[in-house]
Structure 1
Amino acid sequence: MDTALERVIAHLSRARSVLFVTGAGISAESGIPTYRGIGGLYNDEHTEEGIPIEVALSGSMFRRRPELTWHHIHRIEQACRGASFNRAHEVLALLEGCFEHCWVLTQNVDGFHKAAGSKHVIDIHGDIHDLRCTRCSFSERVADYSQLAPCPSCPRCGAVLRPEVVLFEELLPPSKVALMERALFRGFDVVFSIGTSSLFPYINGPVLEAAARGLPTVEINPGRTQLSDVVDVRLEMGAVAAFEALWAARDRWKHG
């Protein structure tokens, strides 16, 4: 068996608590394009309006021209429509029963972790399937956007609806930040970074802090990132292959 995989198995065999930090790479194997936004879609960095995608998908643009922001949100959702969680998401859900304390912190807005059965999920950027009114308390969950208007309005008060996701320039939801901080305060024996370039401090922070404390850290990513020289084990493979291998070896590390 691969030496790096053996080291991960050894870490898991001694762990009682595990944090999995996930990014776009884990959903790429479900057919979700990995953003420069939600990716492949905007590799040229600019939209057809001639503005950067980060501007089109910003909070300030949504306030000024919600129809423009919604246009690109619709394109993102359509690119993801019909996709579903993959084996990596399924194994992560199963892992909750194998450790005393097991959480997923994800940047992804596709909702795949919860759909696969994970209960302890901090979707720090929200979920594209959850909509809320910008004026009143109306909210709803939609399976897809196929029946939504180009710029949907609230059926209760007529104000513009928006997806419950963090747009560029916006702050993270305080309730989810608090949940993340409580989980991190309790601590983890092993921290994984999976399929993420780890550009945000709240995404790379748990890995960096664990490494600074001498705790085991693992990166699962076919490419190199800014964490690649920090973690003590790297699995240079996709998330599905990695978790299938770890699950196949579960008799060697499973606690639950």
Structure 2
Amino acid sequence: MTLSDFSSHLEKAARLILHATHTTAFTGAGISVESGIPPFRGREGLWSRYDPGCLDLDAFYRDPTQTWTLIKEIFYDFFGRAKPNPGHISLAEMEKAGYLQAVITQNIDSLHHQAGSRNIIEFHGTSGRLKCTRCGKVIPFEPSYLKQLPPLCRSCGGILKPDFIFFGEAIPYKAYDASIEEARIADVFLIIGTTGEVVPASSVPWQAKTHGAAIIEINPEPSAYTHAITDIYLQGKAGEILPDLIQSIEVIS
């Protein structure tokens, strides 16, 4: 694609968003890779370094201390150092300006919250909360909980679990229902940094297309969506393209 073609596609995307009634963003691991968080899959993914069985629900209950040791290392010591990048920040700015109504994210790193987005649907849950396996209480994560592994509920003494889904757990029904509703009502749907391979999350953009949404995709490489449902493909990193998209919206508005 030539620079002229890219500029034309960027302007078309900006005009669609500017005139949309409801725009929803759908983000995957790619947007957080730009913050230094590796994806789970692929040659450089987390599962090339760690056994994915560490996130198996049965393994957690069999040996919560061992499981929590890995969870702490991966999701709090390592991921905890990550900061929002210009892609996350741009989505928060778009929401504040009224150009974006919601973010559906497959990521559990809470970077959209840190960037300032407000209407966030966390499809797979988040590391930013803990849930008691005994009383069900959900609490904000605090580093003090990791002084003892496994961390214990201060209300009932039960073992705490990160409030994201493990292998063997169902998608939280509220997050699933809210995502499908966003797909139903959006007239513009942004796909950002996801390959479209993780089910059932991968079905959400298809739902949006079925209900008539224009699909704008931002990805470094073509995905399962690109040649199937995408209307405008902007090839590149979210942290580079989203700021340009905002600028284009402001120029034509």
Alpha-carbon contact 2:194-2:219 (below 8 Å) kept: yes
1:190 aligns with 188
What is the identity, as a one-letter code, of the residue corresponding to 1:103?
A
CA distance in structure 2 between the partners assigned to 1:108 and 1:23 by the alignment:
6
Change (3 A) 1:205 1:41: closer
2:30 aligns with 25
CA distance in structure 1 between the partners assigned to 2:159 and 2:110 by the alignment:
23
Matched, 1:4 2:9: yes
Pairwise CA RMSD:
2.4
1:216 aligns with 214
1:36 aligns with 41
CA drift of 1:57 comes to 0.5
2:87 aligns with 88
Q: Name the stretch that deviates more: 61-70 or 15-24.
A: 61-70
What is the identity, as a one-letter code, of the residue corresponding to 1:222?
P
CA drift of 1:146 comes to 8.2
What is the identity, as a one-letter code, of the residue corresponding to 2:67?
T
Given the two structures, how large is their TM-score scaled by the length of structure 1?
A: 0.85
CA drift of 1:201 comes to 4.2
CA distance in structure 2 between the partners assigned to 1:240 and 1:132 by the alignment:
32
CA distance in structure 2 between the partners assigned to 1:85 and 1:168 by the alignment:
27
CA distance in structure 1 between the partners assigned to 2:129 and 2:174 by the alignment:
16
1:133 aligns with 132
Change (3 A) 1:116 1:150: same
CA distance in structure 1 between the partners assigned to 2:129 and 2:180 by the alignment:
23
Change (3 A) 1:75 1:16: same
Secondary structure at the counterpart of residue 97 of structure 1: helix
CA distance in structure 1 between the partners assigned to 2:137 and 2:15 by the alignment:
48
CA distance in structure 2 between the partners assigned to 1:144 and 1:179 by the alignment:
30
Alpha-carbon contact 2:25-2:100 (below 8 Å) kept: no
CA drift of 1:62 comes to 1.3
Alpha-carbon contact 1:57-1:167 (below 8 Å) kept: yes
CA distance in structure 2 between the partners assigned to 1:143 and 1:86 by the alignment:
23
CA drift of 1:243 comes to 0.7
Aligned residue runs from structure 1 range 38-77, under 5 A: 40-43=45-48, 47=50, 52-53=51-52, 55-77=53-75
Given the two structures, how large is their TM-score scaled by the length of structure 2?
A: 0.86
CA drift of 1:5 comes to 1.5
The unaligned stretches of length 5 or more in structure 1 are none
Change (3 A) 1:170 1:137: closer
2:109 aligns with 110
CA distance in structure 1 between the partners assigned to 2:133 and 2:73 by the alignment:
21
The unaligned stretches of length 5 or more in structure 2 are none
What is the identity, as a one-letter code, of the residue corresponding to 1:161?
L
- The superposition leaves residues 5-60 of structure 1 with CA deviations (integer Å, 9 ceiling, x where unpaired) of 222123223312111000111111111122239x633325xx4xxxx41x221112
Change (3 A) 1:227 1:100: closer
Give the share of equivalent positions with the same residue, in percent. 30
What is the identity, as a one-letter code, of the residue corresponding to 2:103?
V
1:13 aligns with 18
2:150 aligns with 151
Change (3 A) 1:24 1:13: same
Aligned residue runs from structure 1 range 234-245, under 5 A: 234-245=233-244
CA distance in structure 2 between the partners assigned to 1:96 and 1:216 by the alignment:
18
Alpha-carbon contact 1:74-1:145 (below 8 Å) kept: no
CA distance in structure 2 between the partners assigned to 1:143 and 1:83 by the alignment:
16
Change (3 A) 1:215 1:175: closer
